[in-house]
Every structure is written in C-alpha cells, then in structure tokens.
Amino acid sequence: MEGRVAAHMKVRVAALIYGRVVVRMVSREAAWVDSSVVAWMDVRVAVRTIVEWLYGWKVAWLHGLMVEWQHGWKVGRLHGWKVELLYDG
C-alpha cells in the first residue's frame, strides 16, 4: 500500500484536502490505511467522529469507545470520549 490510501467506512461526510485529511463519520466501524499508518475506530454510540491527519505532525481527535493505532513499532489502545495523539511522523 505504499503511496496509496485505502479507506473502508460508512460515512456521511468525507473531505480530502491537500496536505490534510479530515473525515467525519457516523458508523460502527471504520478502517483507514495509509502506508504504515493503520487506525481502527469503533463508534458504537453513534456519535460524530472527527479524525484529522496533518502533514509532518500527526494529530487525531477521536470520540468513541475503542481506538487502535499502529505506526511503525508503536501500538496504542485507548478508551475514552476524547483522545489526542501527537507524534512526529
């Protein structure tokens, strides 16, 4: 998947902007694959989820129950209403 972005999701609004990816979704599960970055979002409470990728620094604001984030050797599992992930890509 090098250089390609594959997304499988049930969304209402999905906006792709150069240098930034903003996804708003109301769904049960969504998967976003971008080379070595994998994020699985499980939004069982059907709230609006906003995921924002910024070039260089990766920033994600997530509202949901379970988030699994893989980047290189890093794997994190987070539970909560608001989660912010910061790392220099």
Does the CA dihedral 18-78-40-27 come out positive or negative?
negative
Q: What is the mean pLDDT of residues 53-74?
A: 38
Backbone φ and ψ for 39, nearest 5 degrees, come out as -135, 130
Q: What is the mean pLDDT of residues 54-65?
A: 38
Containing structural domain, residue 15 = 5-88
Q: Where does the pLDDT of residue 18 fall: very low under 50, low under 70, confident under 90, or very high at 90 and above?
A: very low
Domain count, the chain: 1
Distance in angstroms (rounded) separating the CA atoms of residues 20 and 84: 16
Residues 6+ apart with CB under 8 A from 89: 56, 57, 58, 71
Virtual CA dihedral for 48, 87, 17, 46, nearest 10 degrees?
Answer: -10
pLDDT of the residue at 24: 40
DSSP label at residue 35? T
Q: Where does the pLDDT of residue 49 fall: very low under 50, low under 70, confident under 90, or very high at 90 and above?
A: very low
